[in-house]
């Protein structure tokens, strides 16, 4: 095991904790909450990685976890200690501190919330363990080597620009939107909310309400059920900040007798673009979906390999993302001065989706 930065004291702590755990872990199982899985002192070339994952709230999250488990495998020369933090910030900080105790070589964090990180990142720095942040951002500390993820504000802007062009083509002059937000304090929520609101404010649209659906199907359904009661007959757009919320929102609208999608009264869109959502777009149940790419792990692997070679990786690495729509009406939008294609979903497009 490469322990370039390990102090003797940490080795002792790890040896003791391994003795207490009494076993080896080829690949750490996906633990929810609970104790941080220990890493084993293995062969000399094994790179140990601790990953403090947000949780298991969505299909996107499942794809992100799978990507990490595939990349940081024994086959690829890694030993992964994986912790599912169950959307609990305190558990996530504890997981990172346990990784420090274990003396892993690298720590990956997908931060549940964007603030409250400087103290624990300082502890990582003091222990000499490089941190790589993925997906969501950390806004109150820069004590990490690299961040690999999405520009959430661009996603929100893209959604707004697509809606503007789509509404113009359909002759829709008034937009009364309901937003189902993701988890409070997550940079994915903050960016998507800001981006969409920027276009809404500019275009004079009404955002009737914007409530937290926690990035879950149950959360989306619950928020939409209450929207259907409070805003009956008043809304023509529902913005779901992830796919799973959209599935819940469709269930709630079905129950309330509200029609949606290509032939319905309400335009519904989502973020993430997992395969089931793209299938809904193909079938016309949803009007559009804006991708958030969960496959960060191969880029993190690259960052680690650069560090191993003594190189300096990029501080920020942006994932490539696409926008998908049910109808072949808007083929291009402009976001921050950049022209971006909107992909009309066909069976071929759906079949090519990787997750």
With CB under 6 A as the rule, give the number of residues binding ligand AHR. Answer: 12
Of residues 187 through 226, those in contact with ligand AHR by CB under 6 A are 188, 215
We find the least distance from the C-beta atom of residue 87 to ligand AHR, in angstroms, to be: 9
Cβ burial of 225 (10 Å; 0-12, 13-18, 19+) is middle
Distance CA 164, CA 283 (A): 22
User: Among residues 242 and 285, whose Cβ is nearest to ligand AHR?
Assistant: 242
Q: Which of 53, 58, 137, 287 binds ligand AHR (CB under 6 A)?
A: 58
292 binds ligand AHR (CB under 6 A): yes
Beta bridge partners of 324: 289, 343
Distance CA 77, CA 263 (A): 51
User: Among residues 40 and 291, whose Cβ is nearest to ligand AHR?
Assistant: 291
- Given the rule CB under 6 A, which of 58-66, 69-77, 124-132, 302-310 is the region that contacts ligand AHR? 58-66
We find the least distance from the C-beta atom of residue 136 to ligand AHR, in angstroms, to be: 5
Q: Which of 37, 49, 53, 57 binds ligand AHR (CB under 6 A)?
A: 57
User: Among residues 65 and 102, whose Cβ is nearest to ligand AHR?
Assistant: 65
Q: Which of 136, 153, 164, 280 binds ligand AHR (CB under 6 A)?
A: 136
User: Among residues 61 and 280, whose Cβ is nearest to ligand AHR?
Assistant: 61
By rule CB under 6 A, what string of x and - marks binding of each residue 229-268 to ligand AHR? -------------x--------------------------
Distance CA 164, CA 120 (A): 43
Report the side by side order of strands in the sheet with 267-272.
206-212, 176-181, 237-240, 267-272, 288-291, 323-325, 338-344, 332-335
- Given the rule CB under 6 A, which of 14-22, 52-60, 257-265, 333-341 is the region that contacts ligand AHR? 52-60
| Radius of gyration of the chain, Cα coordinates, nearest whole angstrom | 22
User: SS3 helix, strand, coil % of the chain, rounded to 5?
Assistant: 40, 20, 40
135 binds ligand AHR (CB under 6 A): yes
- Given the rule CB under 6 A, which of 53-61, 159-167, 276-284, 336-344 is the region that contacts ligand AHR? 53-61
**H or E element in which residue 207 lies:** strand 206-212
323 binds ligand AHR (CB under 6 A): no
User: Among residues 25 and 241, whose Cβ is nearest to ligand AHR?
Assistant: 241
273 binds ligand AHR (CB under 6 A): no
We find the least distance from the C-beta atom of residue 242 to ligand AHR, in angstroms, to be: 4
Please name which of 276, 261, 275, 271 lies closest in space to residue 326, comparing C-alpha atoms: 261
Long-range contacts of 14-23 (CB under 8 A, 24+ apart): 14/38, 14/39, 14/41, 14/101, 14/102, 14/103, 15/41, 17/101, 17/102
User: Among residues 40 and 135, whose Cβ is nearest to ligand AHR?
Assistant: 135
The upper half-sphere exposure of residue 117, i.e. CA atoms within 13 Å in the direction of its Cβ, equals 25
Tokens (6 digits) for 175: 């937009």
- Answer yes or no: are the C-beta atoms of 119 and 130 closer than 8 Å: no
Binding site for ligand AHR (CB under 6 A): 57-58, 60-61, 135-136, 188, 215, 242, 271-272, 292
């Amino acid at each position: 095991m490469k322990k370039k930065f390990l102090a003797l004291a940490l080795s002792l702590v790890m040896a003791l904790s391994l003795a207490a755990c009494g076993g080896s872990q080829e690949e750490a199982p996906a633990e929810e909450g609970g104790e941080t899985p220990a890493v084993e002192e293995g062969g000399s070339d094994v790179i140990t990685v601790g990953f403090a994952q947000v949780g298991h709230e969505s299909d996107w999250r499942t794809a992100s976890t799978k990507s990490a488990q595939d990349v940081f495998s024994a086959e690829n020369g890694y030993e992964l200690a994986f912790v599912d933090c169950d959307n609990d910030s305190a558990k996530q900080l504890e997981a990172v501190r346990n990784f420090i105790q274990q003396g892993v070589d690298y720590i990956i964090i997908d931060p549940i919330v964007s603030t409250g990180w400087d103290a624990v990142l300082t502890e990582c720095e003091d222990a000499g363990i490089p941190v790589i942040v993925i997906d969501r951002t950390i806004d109150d500390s820069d004590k990490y080597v690299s961040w690999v993820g999405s520009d959430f504000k661009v996603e929100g802007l893209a959604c707004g620009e697509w809606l503007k062009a789509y509404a113009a083509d359909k002759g829709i002059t008034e937009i009364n939107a309901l937003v189902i937000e993701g988890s409070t304090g997550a940079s994915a929520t903050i960016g998507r909310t800001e981006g969409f609101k920027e276009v809404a404010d500019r275009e004079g649209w009404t955002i009737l309400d914007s409530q937290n659906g926690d990035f879950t199907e149950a959360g989306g359904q619950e928020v939409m059920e209450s929207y259907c009661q409070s805003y009956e007959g008043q809304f023509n757009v529902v913005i779901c900040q992830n796919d799973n919320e959209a599935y819940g929102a469709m269930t709630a609208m079905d129950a309330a007798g509200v029609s949606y999608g290509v032939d319905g009264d309400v335009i519904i869109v989502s973020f993430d673009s997992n395969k089931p959502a793209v299938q809904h777009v193909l079938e016309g149940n949803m009007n559009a979906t804006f991708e958030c790419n969960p496959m960060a792990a191969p880029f993190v692997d690259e960052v680690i390999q650069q560090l191993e070679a003594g190189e300096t990786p990029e501080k920020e690495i942006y994932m490539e993302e696409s926008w998908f729509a049910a109808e072949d009406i808007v083929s291009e939008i402009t976001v921050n001065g950049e022209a971006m294609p909107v992909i009309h979903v066909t069976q071929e497009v759906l079949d090519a989706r990787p997750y």
